[in-house]
Amino acid sequence: MRYLRLLGVFLKSNLLLELEYRANFLTQSLLGVFWASISFAGISIFYTQTDQIGGWSYGQALLIVALFTFLDGLLNFLMRPNTERIVTMVREGTMDFVLTKPANSQFLATLRHMRYAGLSDMLAGAAIFAFAGTQLALAPRWEHVLQFAVMLISAVLLIYSIWVAMASLSFWFVRIENIAELFSVFFETARFPISTFGGLLRFILTFVVPIAFMTTFPAQAVLGMLEPHWLLSAPLVAAAMLWLTHRLWRFAVLHYSSASS
């Protein structure tokens, strides 16, 4: 309860901050929609030359682009702004103020900052999803909607866990925006169904950097094409990652000797 209230306070304070810089908010929001349009136009041009990529039709691939845009918006809304702050805090020694506050430090460090312009990508993602739905005349059965919800929540938790891991590493390496940049390169492959890639890369994108869990599996779920074992393993993997990265964060904080004192 207390944490929900805190989250509400964060949401509000960030909104107030955003309203101070309205021009910036507006251009960043427009930019989000613009990038989504580029993704949309890009995939559409791909499909003028072919009727399948990795066995996925145009409408199906649009679902993947929609999920990619949505999750990228989430990264812009929540993950990237907090990463930037963590790097600054570790470098300038102000992390101490976070660690000494009477609340969970991981919560305070990773969910404190939001950039509302990220919502524009998320909305654009939802719009592309709706368009893909009409293209496919999508009428999923309720159990597929449920599967989709499970897979999408797992995807979000996985992304969050990866971000907690990177935040933890910042205590040792400080400049984690570089690792974040590397992750972003991998994340770009999430624009396409995982079956587009062959051999080793597909293995890596499924089991090492779990990109397949982020867009391909949720899209398969809503299409009713998901292999049942992923439905079981995705929430388990997400939960395990969440727990492991939380332990990593605790370990990192325990071994952190402040920069200032």
Partner 1 sequence: MLRIYATLLRMGWAIVMEYRAQIVIWMTNSLLTIVFMLVWLSISRDGPINGYESADFVAYFIVAWVVRNFTAVWASWELDYAIREGRLSPMLLRPLHPIHHEIAINWAEKGIRLFLVLPLAALGLVIWPEAAARLDWSLLNIALFVVSLALAWLILFMSDYLLGILAFWTTQATAFVQGFFGLRLLLSGTVMPLAMFPAALQQVLRYTPFPYMLHFSVDIAMGRVRGEELLIGLTLQLAWALTCTALVHLLWRAAIRSYSAVGA
Q: Return contacts of 247-255, CB within 8 angstroms, 24+ apart.
A: 248/164, 248/165, 248/168, 249/105, 249/106, 249/164, 249/167, 249/168, 250/106, 251/168, 252/168, 252/169, 252/171, 252/172, 253/99, 253/105, 253/171, 255/171
Contact between residue 194 and residue 211 where contact means Cβ atoms under 8 Å apart: yes
In terms of CB distance, is 77 or 249 closer to partner 1? 77
Report d(CA 203, CA 177) in Å as an integer: 25
Q: How far is the CB of 163 from partner 1 (least distance, A)?
A: 18
Window 95-134: residues binding partner 1 (CB under 8 A): none
- Residue 165 tokens, joined: 């891991």
Asked if residue 50 binds partner 1 (CB under 8 A), the reply is: yes
Closest distance to partner 1 from the beta carbon of 162 (Å) = 17
Interactions with partner 1, residue window 17-36 (CB under 8 A): 23-24, 27-28, 30-31, 34-35
Binding mask 132-151 for partner 1 (x = CB under 8 A): --------------------
Beta carbon of residue 198, minimum distance to partner 1 (angstroms, whole number): 7
**Choices 73-81, 126-134, 180-188, 219-227; region in contact with partner 1 by CB under 8 A:** 180-188
Residue from the set 2, 181, 229, 257 that interacts with partner 1 by CB under 8 A: 181
One-letter amino acid identity for 21?
Y
d(CA 56, CA 214): 16
Residue 195's identity, in one-letter code, is S
Residue 208 as a binder of partner 1 (CB under 8 A): the answer is no
Which residue ranges make up the site for partner 1 (CB under 8 A)?
23-24, 27-28, 30-31, 34-35, 38, 41-42, 45-46, 48-50, 53-54, 178, 181-182, 184-185, 188-189, 192, 196-198, 201
